[in-house]
Structure formats: C-alpha cells, structure tokens
A and B are shown apart, each in its own frame.
Chain A
Amino acid sequence: MNRRVTVSARAVVGLAVAVGVALGTIALSRIPYDPYAAVGDGALLRLSWRARAPVVVSCRPLTEEERATIPAHMQRPEVCERQTVPYVLEAWLDGRPLLGATLRAEGDSPLYVFREASIPPGPHRLRVAFRPQAAGPAGAAAEGGMPLARTLEAEIRPAPREIVLVRLDEETGRLEVER
C-alpha cells in the first residue's frame, strides 16, 4: 500500500516537473521585447535609393617610360582612368543639419543610399540634397553628361514610430517622400 502511494506521488511530481519545463520553454519563446525601445515615440527618417553614379573618364598621353615598357602593338595613344563621381548627401530638418555623408560607388556598380535618422514626430520642414561632390578633374568628361544635383524640400508630419521614406523616382529622377 505504502509503495503504491510513493509511486503515484513520484508520478505527480514527475508530471509537474515535465509540464513546468514545457511551460518554461513556452515562456522563453514569447518574451515581450521591443528591439527599438530607444526610438520611443519618435519617428524615423529613411533615405533609400539607388542611383547610377556617372563615371568620369580622364585621359592622358603615354609617357616615354610607359612606351618603353609596352610592346609597340599594344600601345594606345593615351591611358584613361574611370572614376565614379562621389556624391554628397545632406539632410536638414527645420533648417538644422540632420545628416551629412559623402558616398562613392564601388567600381561600376550603382550608388546605394541607405541612411536613417531619428526625428521627433509632428510637422517638420525637410530638405534633402544629393549632389556630385565636384565636377571632376580638368579635362575629364562624364559619360552620359555630368550628373544633376537632386534636392527635395517637403513638409512632413510623421506619427510616432512612423518611418518617413525619401526615395528616388527612377523615371523622373526626382527625390520624393513616400506617402
């Protein structure tokens, strides 16, 4: 009789432990968490677009030393260097600078812009400028013509935790706020 009582008590404890472990596992699988708690009730400005940065080609004639090292049949009249134009990205919120960066494309790949900045919710005046850093070295020519600077001036009114997305319309070539 005693033995039976012991066994059933052990079974109850065993079951309780098993269920406890299962419930613990469930609890760990649904922990409340706010990964962006730091944002609080703020909003976010996101600048994201892709633009093909013009390539500046600068050419010069071969020097005598270079001519001496290259076989005659491989010599070209001049050597050319291709460089993508670096761009300056700037943003102002209510006239105050918010973002500033110089971006350069890798090789021949397009220029990818992706920047985020916290902003307070409510009405704001946003200005974004995206312009080539310089016209390029003297004598250089940009393939497809020199790039245009792009600017955006807009009134925004983000709600708390809203993301204001500024993108580049690839058809019109204009910066615009995604609404």
Chain B
Amino acid sequence: MRGFVTWAQRGAGAVLTRVDAALDRLYGSRFNPLYQSGALVVLCMVVLTATGLYLTLFYRVGAPYDSVQRVTEQAWAGRWIRALHRYASDAAVAAAALHAFRLFVQDRFWGPRALAWVSGLVLLFAVLVCGWTGYVMVWDVQAQVLAVEGARILDALPIFSEPIGRAFSGERALPGAFFFLNLFAHIGLPVGLGLLLWLHVSRLARPKLLPPRGLAWATVGILATVSIAWPVGMAPPADLLRVPAGAPYDLFYAFWLPVSLRLSAGAVWGVGAAIALAVLLVPALARPARARRPPPSVTDEERCTACMQCHIDCPYEAIAMVERPGSLKGTVARVTPELCVSCGICAGSCAPMLVGPPGRNGRQQMTDVRARTAQWRGAIPDVAIVSCERAADPGAPAGTAVHRVSCAGGVHTSVVEQLLRAGAGGVFLVACPTRDCREREGPQWLSERLYHDREAELQARVDRRRVRLLHLGAGRGREARAELERFQGEIAALRRETEAEPELVRLCRSVEEEVAT
C-alpha cells in the first residue's frame, strides 16, 4: 500500500509542483491560492454564514419555492446574494477537495496528523450534507430528485418507523414540518462544522484560519462579481406527480446522483461505506513502515535552560514545559512523542542545541557540517548552499557546496556561522514559501532567527551581507539559480572589497570580530 501511495504521490506531486510554480509566478507565494486551500474553505464558510443569514430572513417553510423565487427577484440584493451563497458553497467543496489532495500528495496525513485527516474528511462530508439540505430548501426539480433519492437511500437503514420516502410519493402534500426540519438542519449543521473545525486544527499551534487579507478580498470580490454577472436562476418547481425533467444540476453537491440512481439503496451504502473506509483508513494503511518513520524529537532535560523557545516554536504543540525532574525547581521542555511529527524545527530554536530529533539536533548538525567543511580543504566554495529538500533546487554550480536538509526551519544558525568560519564566502539558504512549508512554520522561524533576532538567532557578529535566505517552492529552480548567481556576484564583490582594504582596517576588523566572539 505504501509503495502505491508513494508512486501516486510522486506522479501527482510532479503536476502539483508545476501548477504551484506557475501560480507562484502569477500571484506570488503569499497569495498563491493553492497554498491557502484550507483557509479558503473557512473564508467560504464565513461568506456562507453572512449570505445565509440574509437569505433566512426571506425563507418561508410554508412556501419554500415561492419564497426563494421572491428572493431571486430582488434585483438589487437577493438575486446576487443567493448566487454568492451558492458559488461560495461550491468553492468551499472545491477548496476542501484540493486541500485534502494537497495534504495527501505532501504525505501529511499519518501519525499525529491522522486526526486532522479524519476530522477533515468528516468536515467535508458534513459540508456536503449541509449543501444537500440547502438544495432541498429551494424545492425545485433538483431538490425533488435529491430529496427522493436521499430518502430512498436512508430508507435502507432499519431505523425509521415509517419509510421516509413515502413523504415524497405524492399521496399527501409535503408538510411544512419537513421544510422546517430541513431548515433547522441547514442552520444547525454549520454549528457542528465549527466544532469539527476546532477539532481539525486542535493539534496545530497558531492555526491560520483565514487567507491573507488581499487574497481573501480578491476571492470574495471575484465571487461577488460573478454572482452579479451570472446570478442563479430558478429551475421548475418540484412536482411529486411528475417525473422531474432535465435541469441544471450542481456537480459539487449532486455528483453522486448518476451513480446512486443506477444502484439499489443497499449497493449505494456498500459503495459509500467502502469509499469512506478507504479514505478514512489512509493514515493507517499508507503510513511508512515503523522502521522508516522519523523518530520524534527528544530534549536533554538535564541541561534544558527552560527558555521555552522550542515550546513556543513547535508548530504542533508537541513540546510542553513540565516540572523539572529531581530536586531542582523550575521547568524543562519535554516532547510528547504522540504529537511530534519529527519536523526538527525545535532543533533550530534551541540556542544551546539540546532538543531535536535524534541525529538532527543542533549539536549533530554542527558535527555534520564540521565533517563536511573538513572535506573542503583546497576547494573552499564561494557560496555554501543550505537548501530544504522540498524547496527550489538551484543546482550546484561551480564554486558552491550544497548541504540539503529535511526542513530549512530546523537549521541551527550556528551552522550558518560555521560555514562562514570554514571559509565560505557566503551562505545561500533556500526554504519553502512561508505558506507552503510541510512543517508549517519552518521558513518563518528561520527568517526571524536570521534577520529579526528571534531566540537562537544568528549572532550579530555575522555579516548579514554574506547570508541570503530565499523562499521559493520546488519547481522554481531556474529562479533560485538566477538568485544564487546574483548572490555569488555580490560575494565576489565583497571579497574584492575586503582584499582591497588596507592592512590596518583588516586588522581592526579581525580584532573586532575576536572581541565579539
């Protein structure tokens, strides 16, 4: 199973990388909507709530079709608000499906992330059910088909004292109570969605629930514009004594109809249960073998200074501050292995290098980088490249040495300094875009440690002109290469500048550096 998943991820990943890169170039990584798929779902929910409140004011359970028609006839508000409600609900499903696909391709669904995967799928299902009730509210031919088919499927469950499908047989007029219940479900379900959303992000520190303001307004603006330009019309009203004629159907909420109409209710349940089970069990079936799973971080509790930085920086709230064991007072950082995804960001956040996944904490990074620089000897590179294995690959042009890491956010700033001390003219770091880090906050923390004195910061004595951080996603290797070449040029200029300095100035500088050290 894992082999198949890896194969699928590789294939889909290649496509996604190209699309990401194209949209990055168009909108910039900050406003790339693909990086914000989850936040866009929440934004659509906000739009749905606002427009839904307006529409509810005019909805009448005693005359559902007529009341929706009256709203649709309101040229100034109702018509486009109803369309916006519809299109936002479609966009929510599209964004949610994209979000799930993206996380699958990025292998972010197993281990501690399984809760988010499962709750996300339940959320998507709840959104679909909520949409189903919304369509039934209109009571046009699409509503009739959805209601009749839904009732047929539900009647296969031996839980109803009377088949609910009878309500739609045409023997009696459909009671207002049905539409009241449906309206209640349509309004009540979003409350449940809110709780599910809380569960969905419960393992994340600082979840970003909404996209950046610019993207949010652009999304709402475009949806509103198309709602005004192409409002939703009214299909013919439902008639239980007529076979529903053809009408426009919403693929996002009625996609299952062509299949279910051809199957018995039992078979629909069978197929639905099989699909649900398959996607819900993905975290269990498709995770790597135990031996291949990266081990969780560990802390050196004896020497922990309780600065709390790893606790603050951990994007998954996997590090807690607990009572220091033994007789000493105070707290120490402790990793909860069940919550740790082994991102290694804590390794970069601990100034004394006491925390991180085995083999990747600050001390081991330093050992590793010393071993690498020892091999340089006669061929000291102009620029040492430290790049995330998921970010843009600038290649390895002449005069460079490449050091790949699993997440740039886990790179300890001492590694950068060590590379410069070993003789590299500059250090070129390549991280993922801040909104597309597999480990969520790696690039952001790295940037703050390098340039904004976040704890475990790059020391002031390091010449920042010799350090360059680039946020570029995979698929943008060409741009990364161009930026690298520019940086190489700047380093060469710096080298010439330094060589041209009078001996006395150079001596003063070295003394200054020595004092700072």
Contact = CB atoms under 8 A, between A and B. Distances in A.
A99 to B, nearest CB: 15
A98 interface: no
Contact of A18 (B25, B222, B246): B222
Contacts of B287: none
Contacts of A25: 87, 90-91, 94
Nearest to A25: B90
B246 A37 contact: yes
B421 to A, nearest CB: 38
B209 interface: no
Given A29-B90, A162-B241, A48 B247 contact: no
A147 B302 CA distance: 87
B252 interface: yes
Among A25, A110, A165, A178, chain B packs the most CB atoms within 10 A around the CB of A25
Contacts of B223: 22
Interface residues of B, number: 42
B243 A48 contact: no
A48 B145 CA distance: 18
A49 B163 CA distance: 11
Contact of A49 (B86, B91, B171, B252): B171
B171 A165 contact: yes
Given A13-B26, A28-B251, A33-B246, A114 B169 contact: yes
A23 interface: yes
Interface in B219-246: 222-223, 225-226, 230, 232, 240-246
Interface in A25-47: 25-26, 28-37, 39, 43-44, 46
A135 B443 CA distance: 82
B258 interface: yes
A178 B226 contact: no
A17 interface: yes
Contact of B26 (A14, A28, A162): A14
A32 B247 contact: yes
Nearest to A28: B251
A18 B242 CA distance: 40
B249 interface: yes
Nearest to A37: B246
B170 A178 contact: yes
A22 B222 contact: yes
Contacts of B94: 25
A83 to B, nearest CB: 20
A53 interface: no
A15 to B, nearest CB: 9
B165 interface: yes
A21 to B, nearest CB: 8
B327 interface: no
B27 interface: yes
Interface in B258-293: 258, 261
A167 to B, nearest CB: 5
A10 interface: yes
A100 B87 CA distance: 46
A162 B263 CA distance: 23
A114 B265 CA distance: 14
A19 interface: yes
B245 A48 contact: no
B27 A14 contact: yes
Contact of A114 (B165, B218, B241, B246): B165
A112 interface: yes
Contacts of B87: 22, 25-26, 29
Contacts of A30: 232, 248-250
B517 interface: no
B170 A163 contact: yes
B161 interface: yes
Contact of A10 (B26, B171, B241): B26
A144 B204 CA distance: 66
Interface string A2-24: 00000000100110011100110
Contact of A17 (B26, B163, B249): B26
Contacts of A178: 170-171, 241
B166 interface: yes
Given A22-B223, A25-B90, A29-B86, A46 B169 contact: yes
A114 B242 contact: no
B171 A31 contact: no
A22 B227 CA distance: 10
A49 B165 CA distance: 12
Nearest to B233: A30
B249 A31 contact: yes
Contact of A29 (B25, B240, B242, B251): B251
A80 to B, nearest CB: 25
A161 interface: yes
B411 to A, nearest CB: 32
A46 B162 contact: no
Interface string A165-179: 101000000000010
Nearest to B95: A25
Contacts of A37: 246
A109 interface: yes
A50 interface: yes
Nearest to A27: B251
B257 interface: yes
Contacts of B26: 10, 13-14, 17
Contacts of A48: 166, 169-171
A35 B170 contact: no
A18 B218 contact: yes
A85 to B, nearest CB: 20
A17 B87 CA distance: 17
Contacts of A109: 161-162
17 contacts: A19-B222, A22-B223, A22-B226, A23-B230, A25-B87, A29-B250, A30-B248, A31-B250, A33-B246, A33-B254, A33-B257, A34-B245, A114-B166, A114-B169, A161-B243, A165-B169, A167-B169
Given A33-B249, A109-B161, A114-B169, 12 more contacts: A18-B218, A22-B223, A25-B90, A29-B90, A31-B249, A31-B251, A32-B247, A33-B254, A50-B162, A109-B162, A161-B243, A163-B243
- 3 residue pairs, one from A and one from B, having the closest CB atoms: A34-B246, A30-B248, A48-B169
